[in-house]
């Protein structure tokens, strides 16, 4: 009799171990996680412009980074002495289809005199812990959702989204909009004539071009 509680406890632990790994609801625990990396390049300036061949060095650096949509590019010029260099950097970055963004409020390491710093911020989305087949390795006694539930759709979403930061806060709409453009399709539909006024012609699919005119919707020849 003294061994009965011990046996029941062991049986409960065994059953709980067999049921480990599943998810109790339909909301998946495998969600995309967005990480962010900063790349920095210091460029020499002279008389408010980029020094000789610095624009070529910037272009080579951007090419090696495979700069593209989703990357955020900013320029740090604490002294404010290189407005011409800012325009030159914007021209190089513009060749990759990007615009310079505002400087980051996060303090970086100090910028040396007579230099500016170009920073590329790149985000990456991943879904940690996928695939997860733990629930398939043991019997399911409570009808839980598979431990791998959500891995496929969220990994595809993380791989396809162009700007992973939009998974965190979405994207803002345009500051201004033209209501005429937004309602153009609705206005065209309202101005169009209805199809029940005889404008629709039913044609015999078996008729050939030499068999004469096709019948109208009333069945009479044209």
Starting at the edge strand found earlier in the chain, the sheet holding 33-46 runs 49-50, 33-46, 115-126, 72-76
Residue 16 has pLDDT above 50, yes or no: no
DSSP state of 129: T
Lowest mean pLDDT among 68-72, 121-125, 145-149, 200-204: 200-204
Q: Would you state the pLDDT for residue 104?
A: 65
94, part of any domain? yes
**195, two tokens:** 């199809």
What CATH number has the domain bearing residue 50? 3.30.1330.60
Q: Phi then psi for 135, rounded to 5 degrees?
A: -70, -15
Lowest mean pLDDT among 75-89, 135-149, 154-168, 196-210: 196-210
Give the separation between CA 38 and CA 36, rounded to whole angstroms. Answer: 7
21, part of any domain? no
- Taking a C-beta distance cutoff of 8 angstroms, is the pair 12, 22 a contact? no
Q: Would you state the pLDDT for residue 101?
A: 84
Domain count, the chain: 1
Q: Would you state the pLDDT for residue 217?
A: 47
Q: Would you state the pLDDT for residue 14?
A: 45
**39, two tokens:** 């790349």
Q: Using 50, 70 and 90 to split pLDDT, how confident is the model at 4?
A: very low
pLDDT tens digits, residue range 22-53? Answer: 777 778 888 899 998 999 999 999 988 999 99
Give residue for tokens 């030499």: 210
Q: Using 50, 70 and 90 to split pLDDT, how confident is the model at 166?
A: confident
118, part of any domain? yes
Domain that holds residue 73: 37-122
Give the separation between CA 83 and CA 165, rounded to whole angstroms. Answer: 29
Q: Using 50, 70 and 90 to split pLDDT, how confident is the model at 200?
A: low
117, part of any domain? yes
152, part of any domain? no
Q: Would you state the pLDDT for residue 42?
A: 92
Give the separation between CA 127 and CA 32, rounded to whole angstroms. Answer: 5
State how far Cα 41 lies from the chain centre.
Answer: 26
Residue 143 has pLDDT above 80, yes or no: no
pLDDT tens digits, residue range 79-131? Answer: 787 888 999 999 999 999 998 888 765 556 788 888 999 999 999 999 998 98
221, part of any domain? no
71, part of any domain? yes
Residue 121 β-bridge partners: 38, 72
**Exposure letters 143-154 (e unless 16+ CB within 10 A, then b):** ebbbbbbbbeeb
129, part of any domain? no
Q: What is the DSSP string of 164-222?
A: TTHHHH--PPPS---HHHHTHHHHHHHHSPPGGGTT-----TT--GGG-PPP-TTS---
**113, two tokens:** 């005199």
């Amino acid at each position: 009799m003294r061994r009965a509680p011990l046996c029941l406890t062991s049986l409960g632990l065994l059953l709980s171990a067999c049921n480990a790994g599943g998810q109790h609801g339909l909301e998946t625990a495998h969600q995309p996680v967005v990480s962010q990396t900063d790349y920095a390049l210091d460029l020499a300036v002279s008389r408010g412009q980029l020094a000789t061949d610095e624009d070529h060095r910037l272009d080579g650096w951007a090419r090696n980074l495979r700069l593209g949509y989703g990357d955020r590019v900013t320029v740090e010029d604490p002294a404010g002495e290189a407005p011409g260099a800012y325009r030159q950097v914007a021209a190089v970055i513009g060749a990759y289809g990007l615009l310079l963004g505002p400087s980051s409020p996060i303090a970086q390491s100090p910028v040396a005199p007579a230099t500016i710093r170009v920073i590329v911020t790149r985000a990456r989305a991943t879904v940690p812990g996928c695939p997860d087949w733990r629930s398939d390795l043991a019997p399911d006694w409570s009808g839980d959702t598979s431990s791998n539930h959500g891995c496929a759709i969220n990994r595809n979403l993380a791989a396809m989204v162009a700007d992973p930061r939009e998974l965190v806060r979405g994207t803002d709409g345009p500051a201004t909009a033209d209501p005429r453009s937004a309602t153009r399709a609705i206005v065209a539909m309202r101005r169009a004539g209805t199809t029940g006024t005889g404008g629709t012609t039913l044609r015999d699919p078996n008729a050939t071009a030499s068999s004469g005119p096709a019948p109208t919707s009333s069945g009479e020849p044209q």
